[in-house]
């Protein structure tokens, strides 16, 4: 195969449309934010059922962190900001981070 052909193929590979990367939105534990506040936030921002929200809150409480949802980057960043804004307004130190999946 000629070099030109190989270059054309590798250029084609580069041009292939890839699905967008996904990001985990993760809550971090602390000793001060009330459990009920975390559960409500998980239901309202991440649309979890009350059973799912309690399970995620307890996982974070017991292990230090837990995944609330997996989204494209812009959505993950927005949800993370919503969590921090809501916690800060209520005077809680709750922290939220995003990680590439």
Q: How far is the CB of 35 from ligand TYC (least distance, A)?
A: 5
**Going by C-beta distance under 8 Å and a sequence separation of 6 or more, which residues neighbour residue 97?**
25, 26, 28, 80
Q: Can residue 27 be called a binding residue for ligand TYC (CB under 6 A)?
A: yes
Q: Can residue 94 be called a binding residue for ligand TYC (CB under 6 A)?
A: yes
SS (H, E, C) 37-85: HHHHHHHHHHCCCHHHHHHHHHHHHHHCEEEEEEEEHHHHHHHHHHHHH
Per-residue binding string, ligand TYC, 59-88, x by CB under 6 A, is: -xx---------------------------
* Nearest Cα to Cα of residue 25 among 74, 89, 85, 86: 74
Q: How far is the CB of 71 from ligand TYC (least distance, A)?
A: 18
Q: Can residue 34 be called a binding residue for ligand TYC (CB under 6 A)?
A: yes
Q: Can residue 38 be called a binding residue for ligand TYC (CB under 6 A)?
A: yes
Give residues in contact with ligand TYC (CB under 6 A): 27-31, 33-35, 38, 57, 60-61, 94
């Amino acid at each position: 195969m000629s070099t030109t052909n190989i270059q054309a193929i590798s250029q084609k590979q580069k041009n292939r449309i890839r699905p967008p990367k996904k990001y985990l939105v993760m809550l971090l534990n602390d000793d001060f934010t009330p459990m009920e506040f975390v559960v409500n936030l998980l239901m309202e921002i991440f649309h979890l059922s009350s059973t799912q929200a309690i399970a995620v809150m307890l996982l974070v409480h017991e292990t230090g962190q837990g995944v609330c949802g997996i989204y494209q980057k812009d959505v993950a960043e927005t949800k993370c900001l919503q969590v921090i804004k809501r916690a800060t307004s209520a005077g809680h130190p709750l922290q939220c981070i995003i990680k590439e999946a």
